[in-house]
Amino acid sequence: MTTISDENGIINNFAKEPTMYYAQAPSSQDKRSYLLWGAIASVLVVASVCTAVVVS
C-alpha cells in the first residue's frame, strides 16, 4: 500500500493496483459447455414454473 502525505500533513493511502490482462475468447469446447449448462438451467426453471402452476 502506498502512503503519501501532502504539505498539510494529511496522509493518503492508495491500494496496490492489480496487474491487467486481456481476456481470451472461449474455445468451442467452452461454448458447448455453456450451451449445455444453459439448457439444463432452462429445463430446471420451466419445471419449477410448471410445478408452481400445478400446485396452486
| Residue spans per domain, the chain | 2-55
User: Would you state the pLDDT for residue 12?
Assistant: 81
- Threshold 0.95, pTM exceeds: no
pLDDT of residue 32: 97
Looking at residue 32, what DSSP letter applies?
A: H
What confidence score (pLDDT) does residue 25 get? 95
- Separation of CA 4 from chain center: 33
pLDDT one-digit tens code per residue, 1-19: 677 777 887 888 877 788 9
Give percent above pLDDT 90 in the chain: 66
Residue 23: beta bridge partners? none
Are 22 and 35 spatial neighbours (Cβ–Cβ below 8 Å)? no
Helix (H) or strand (E) holding 5: strand 2-5
